[in-house]
């Protein structure tokens, strides 16, 4: 039994009072805040780190998967595409091809800041939402831990964009837990990617042997991905990461879902602390191994280790509708579709994202956005990616603002009103609207 202490009751000062409060400033969160503010809602955004963008900035997850379908059509508009265009304008977007986009983590911080500022969002950085504030049985704000002490922000509607569903869970929302490998991405310089590719293609047996050897030595695989600075050898590397505490790093590359399966919990401080330390040590060993053994990596330099762990799944808040594998494989469309996701791993087609998956089953005053929305475990493998969480974020922000304006709970919001609002904001809601 865990030892406990008693915390005396105390009065908590109210830092702000708004129409819409968004908790979590990752891709879903900043899109939710911008969408709500542009609809005229007084909006505040709380972020525990010092920048917006979440795993797309602090996590160095830079590939924008799902903006295009397998036929090359653009199936996302709205704030997703606006972000890409803004990044392109400042040199913060790299392309392997017209449909394979990689963002620059530093420029995305600047662009997200600007979008929020222009919309009138009140940003609160370095503030951790410790719990939901409940009033009359509904979520009416959040209790924060900050350098200024424990404070509160009150709101008519809140959006949980924490990734882990922290706000919803603290409000009593039902959830299911999912587990995938936890990674830790890096940026490197000095890599000759063309030489590395030529080696991998020209000597496949030796390349496989080296991959196995680095895993045997307790390392991780390093595959350089594009950045706007790849012309000078700067790349980002997606580290698949750890699946469990015994340090196993082997994975089944024949099945995408099996490859990502894990046992570490993203809501357990012990597992998170273990992963943070262990992955840094493995990265160091791997860089030394690649430098000594792998063509193209002779001059590799470590430029950055992501300050945020690459968490792929944790709580999935149970919503009015759970998006399932059957829906995805059947390309099911919904009356309340709020956006699309180009699908690449299950035979092509589109994922239709329903609004009801953003609405918790039994908690009012609250919407979810990002990787804590209601899906089954299989489907979360796609929905957790950066562009689709931005789609759910924009929809949650629009819905929150409309709910305040209409004077209803998010679960009562007419779907057609939300879809019209999203369409006006440039969202793509059906395959017929996809851009060739």
Residue 103, pLDDT > 70, answer yes
pLDDT tens-digit readout, 378-416? 999 999 999 999 999 999 999 999 999 999 999 999 999
Query: Can you tell me the distance from the alpha carbon of 410 to that of 400, in angstroms, rounded to the nearest whole number?
Result: 7
Q: pLDDT class for 285, splitting at 50, 70, 90?
A: very high
Report the pLDDT value the prediction gives residue 258, as an integer from 0 to 100.
Answer: 85
* DSSP run (H or E) holding 338: strand 337-342
Single out the residue of 390, 241, 249, 253 nearest to residue 305, CA to CA: 241
Would you state the pLDDT for residue 247?
62
Helices 27-38 and 78-89 pack at an angle, to 10 degrees, of 100
DSSP state of 403: H
CA-nearest of 150, 184, 174 to 372 is 174
Q: Give the model's pLDDT for residue 192.
A: 97
Output the DSSP codes for 84-124. Answer: HHHHHHTT-EEEEETTEEEE-HHHHHHHHHHHHHHHT-EEE
Cα(207)–Cα(10) distance, integer angstroms = 61
Query: What was the pLDDT predicted at 255?
Result: 77
For the segment 117-163, what is each residue's pLDDT rounded down to a tens digit?
999 999 999 999 999 999 999 999 999 999 999 999 999 999 999 99
What pLDDT is recorded for position 433? 96
Assign 292 a pLDDT band (cuts: 50, 70, 90): very high
The pLDDT of residue 256 is 76
CA dihedral sign, ordered 426, 227, 306, 125: negative
pLDDT for res 158: 98
Helix (H, G, I), strand (E, B) or coil at 379: helix
pLDDT score of 338? 98
Question: What is the percent of the chain with per-residue pLDDT over 90, rounded to a whole number?
Answer: 91
What pLDDT digit, counting tens, does each position of 16-32 carry?
Answer: 999 999 999 999 999 99
Look at residue 346 in the predicted model and tell me its pLDDT.
63
The confidence score (pLDDT) of residue 251 equals 64
Best CA proximity match to 397, nearest among 333, 329, 341, 339: 339
Whole-number Å distance between alpha carbons of 319 and 317: 6
Arithmetic mean of pLDDT, 7-13: 90
Task: Output the pLDDT for position 335.
Answer: 97
Q: How many C-beta atoms lie closer than 10 Å to residue 110's C-beta? A: 18
Q: What is the mean pLDDT of residues 212-229?
A: 94
Q: Residue 246 has what pLDDT?
A: 77
Q: Which residues contact 310 (CB under 8 A, 6 or more apart)?
A: 55, 59, 61, 182, 183, 184, 185, 238, 239, 241
Q: Report pLDDT digits (tens) over 314-332.
A: 999 999 999 999 999 999 9
pLDDT in tens, 337-368: 999 999 776 666 799 999 999 999 999 999 99
Mean pLDDT over each residue of the chain, to the nearest integer: 95
CATH numbers and ranges of domains, the chain = 14-178+313-433 (3.50.50.60), 186-305 (no CATH)
What pLDDT score was predicted for residue 209?
96
What angle (nearest 5°) sits at the alpha carbon of residue 171, between those of residues 165 and 176? Answer: 45
> What number is the average pLDDT over the span 79-86?
98
pTM of the predicted structure, to 2 decimals: 0.96
Per mean pLDDT, which range of 21-35, 250-264, 271-285, 305-319 is the poorest?
Answer: 250-264
């Amino acid at each position: 039994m865990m030892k406990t202490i008693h915390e005396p009751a105390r009065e908590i000062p109210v830092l702000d009072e708004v129409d819409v409060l968004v908790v979590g400033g990752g891709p879903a969160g900043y899109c939710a805040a911008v969408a709500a503010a542009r609809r005229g809602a007084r909006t505040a955004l709380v972020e525990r780190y010092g920048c917006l963008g979440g795993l797309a900035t602090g996590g160095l997850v830079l590939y924008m998967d799902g903006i295009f379908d397998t036929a090359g059509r653009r199936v996302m508009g709205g704030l997703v595409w606006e972000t890409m265009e803004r990044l392109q304008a400042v040199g913060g977007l790299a392309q392997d091809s017209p449909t394979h986009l990689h963002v620059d983590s530093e420029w995305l911080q600047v662009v997200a800041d600007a979008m929020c500022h222009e919309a009138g969002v009140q940003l609160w950085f370095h503030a951790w939402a410790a719990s939901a504030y409940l009033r009359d049985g509904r979520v009416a704000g959040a209790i924060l831990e900050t350098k200024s002490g424990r404070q509160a922000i009150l709101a008519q509607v809140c959006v949980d964009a924490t990734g882990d569903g922290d706000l919803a869970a603290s409000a009593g929302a039902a959830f299911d837990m999912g587990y995938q490998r936890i990674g830790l991405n890096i940026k490197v310089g000095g890599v000759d990617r063309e030489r590395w590719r030529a080696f991998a293609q020209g000597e496949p047996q030796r390349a496989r042997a080296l991959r196995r050897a680095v895993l045997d030595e307790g390392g991780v695989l390093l595959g350089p991905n594009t950045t706007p600075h790849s012309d000078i050898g700067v790349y980002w590397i997606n580290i698949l990461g750890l699946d469990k505490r015994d340090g196993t790093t082997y994975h089944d590359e024949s099945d995408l879902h099996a490859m990502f399966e894990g046992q570490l919990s993203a809501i357990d401080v012990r597992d998170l602390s273990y992963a943070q330390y262990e992955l840094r040590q493995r990265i160091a060993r791997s860089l030394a191994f690649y430098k000594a053994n792998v063509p193209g990596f002779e001059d590799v330099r470590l430029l950055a280790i992501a300050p945020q762990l690459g968490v792929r799944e944790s709580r999935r808040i149970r919503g009015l509708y759970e998006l399932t594998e059957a829906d995805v494989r059947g390309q099911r469309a919904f009356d309340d579709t709020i956006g699309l996701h180009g699908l690449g791993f299950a035979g092509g087609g589109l994922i239709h994202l329903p609004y009801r998956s953003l609405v918790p089953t039994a908690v009012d005053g609250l919407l979810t956005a990002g990787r804590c929305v209601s899906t089954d475990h299989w489907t979360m493998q796609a929905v957790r990616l950066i562009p689709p969480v931005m789609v759910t974020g924009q929809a949650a922000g629009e819905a929150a603002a409309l709910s305040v304006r209409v004077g209803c709970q998010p679960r009562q919001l007419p779907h057609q009103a939300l879809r019209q609002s999203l369409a006006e904001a440039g969202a793509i809601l059906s395959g017929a609207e996809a851009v060739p």
